[in-house]
A and B are shown apart, each in its own frame.
Chain A
Amino acid sequence: GDSVTQMEGPVTLSEEAFLTINCTYTATGYPSLFWYVQYPGEGLQLLLKATKADDKGSNKGFEATYRKETTSFHLEKGSVQVSDSAVYFCALSPLEGGNQFYFGTGTSLTVIP
């Protein structure tokens, strides 16, 4: 079945460090891929998305490229800030069938000044 595997956390970085959170997926066909962010005490917010192979999603300095050959959608940011501290979820939505999302387990990021 469809699933998402995410790099386990927690991750602690110093401000301005480079961030990578790995995400790989298993799916039939060509799913859409998403990164959601959950700030402390808040709900899930869409961070970025990609709907087909080689698409790059980007938002707020974060980027992720849909790589079909490696079935990956790794999240990157060149210089993290304290305000980026949150839990990050990779998710996929199958191309066919229903509209449910499959989420990874989430990766907690703490950025220290």
Chain B
Amino acid sequence: EPEVTQTPSHQVTQMGQEVILRCVPISNHLYFYWYRQILGQKVEFLVSFYNNEISEKSEIFDDQFSVERPDGSNFTLKIRSTKLEDSAMYFCASSLTKPQHFGDGTRLSIL
């Protein structure tokens, strides 16, 4: 069964550094998403992407965040200048309609 794949599985970064989280969605999907889960808290929506542009974003998704689909297969989340509170598990998801299919996540640790 096709899967959403995310790399790396764990990223450790110094505060203030830029970080790029990578995702390869399921190949025929059209909608792409990023969510995050701070340890012990609920999964929170960050952004959705369709037709090469952001279709929705939450209040969490401020100017420090950006997304890109640089080619036909990758979908990336960039955090420009990381803060301690960005430490979380970040999930990529994709869908054709509903439901969304999730990757295994990238654990981001900010030191």
Contact = CB atoms under 8 A, between A and B. Distances in A.
Interface of A: 32, 34, 36, 42-46, 49, 51, 89, 91, 93, 98-106
DSSP class of A's interface residues: helix, strand, loop or mixed?
A: strand
B91 interface: yes
Counting contact residues on chain B (CB < 8 A from A), the size range is 20 to 34
A21 to B, nearest CB: 15
Contacts of A105: 41-42
Interface of B: 4, 6, 31, 33, 35, 41-45, 48, 55-56, 58, 91, 93, 95, 98-105
DSSP class of B's interface residues: helix, strand, loop or mixed?
A: strand
Contact of A100 (B4, B41, B45): B45
Given A42-B104, A44-B102, A103 B43 contact: yes
A103 B46 CA distance: 12
Nearest to A45: B102
A54 B99 CA distance: 18
